[in-house]
Amino acid sequence: MSPVLFVILAAMLIVSALGVVLQRSPIRCALALVTTLFVLAVIFLFLDAQLVAALQVIVYAGAIMVLFLFVIMLLNLQQDVRAMAWLGARVVAVLMGSLFLLAAVRFFVYPLAPRLGPGMGGAPPEGFGSTEQLGQRLFTHYLFAFEITSVLLLVAIIGAVVLAKRKLA
């Protein structure tokens, strides 16, 4: 990935991410989030992670965010509705955000930093990021995590069904 391309994409990513938190209209915030996810997918694409990029767009931008928009439109949230307007919530939000940033820097950026820089750690191995390799890793090395995640999803589905049933009764 050429540095020029990276800087352009990163700038787009930051601008759209700022749009998520700085805009007033909930619909526009959600759309800024869609843009963020899409640009992130493009970055994945240039980093040889084609499958991750496609899943990012299909699952997040194409499905989850559409449901978000669906709910926002159904509730008909107006620009002046700001659920988090009170001071306490803002303080908590800033604290949690900083904590997350700290954790991200400590566990992702810091250990990787020596390997970044010119050349970005060299060319990836043959077949890196391909669907075949990802599938192999997922179903052998990460099988336990994979199965646990599926159980978690199943629990969530059953929970949703139970909640929906109770409302009807």
Partner 1 sequence: MWIETGIVAIKALVVILMVLNLAGILGWVERKGSALIQDRIGANRASVFGIAAAGLVNTMMADPLKFLTKEDIIPARADRLLHTVAPCVGLFAVTVAFAAVPFGDVLQVGGRTINLQAVPLNIGILFVLAMVSLSVYGVVLGGWASNDRFSLLGGIRGSAQVISYEIAMGLSLVAVVMTYSTLDLQEMARAQGQLIGGWLPAWGILYQPLAFLIFFCAGIAETKRVPFDLPEGESELVSGYFTEYSGVKYLMFFMTDFVEIIAISGLVTTMFFGAWQVPYLQRDGFHFPGGASMLLPQIIVAVMQVLSFMIKVFFFCWLQIMIRWTLPRLRYDQLMRFGWKGLLPVSLLNVLATAVVALAVQG
* In the complex, least distance from residue 20 CB atom to partner 1, rounded to whole angstroms: 16
- For residue 61, CA distances in Å to 41, 125, 126 come to 10, 29, 29
Residues 93-129 as b/e (b if ≥16 CB within 10 A, e otherwise) read: eeeeeeeeeeeeeeeeeeeeeeeeeeeeeeeeeeeeb
* In the complex, least distance from residue 132 CB atom to partner 1, rounded to whole angstroms: 9
Site residues, partner 1 (CB under 8 A): 25, 27-28, 31, 34, 38, 50-51, 53-55, 57-58, 61-63, 66-67, 69-70, 73-74, 130-131
- Longest Cα–Cα distance of the chain, Å, equals 63
One-letter amino acid at 10 equals: A
* In the complex, least distance from residue 126 CB atom to partner 1, rounded to whole angstroms: 13
* In the complex, least distance from residue 47 CB atom to partner 1, rounded to whole angstroms: 14
Q: Give the whole-angstrom CA distance, residue 66 versus residue 71.
A: 9
For partner 1, the closer CB: 58 or 89: 58
For partner 1, the closer CB: 112 or 157: 157
* In the complex, least distance from residue 123 CB atom to partner 1, rounded to whole angstroms: 17
Q: How many residues does the chain have?
A: 169
For partner 1, the closer CB: 107 or 146: 146
For partner 1, the closer CB: 73 or 112: 73
For partner 1, the closer CB: 25 or 98: 25
In the chain, which residue ranges form alpha helices assigned H by DSSP?
Answer: 3-22, 26-46, 50-55, 65-75, 87-104, 110-112, 131-140, 143-168
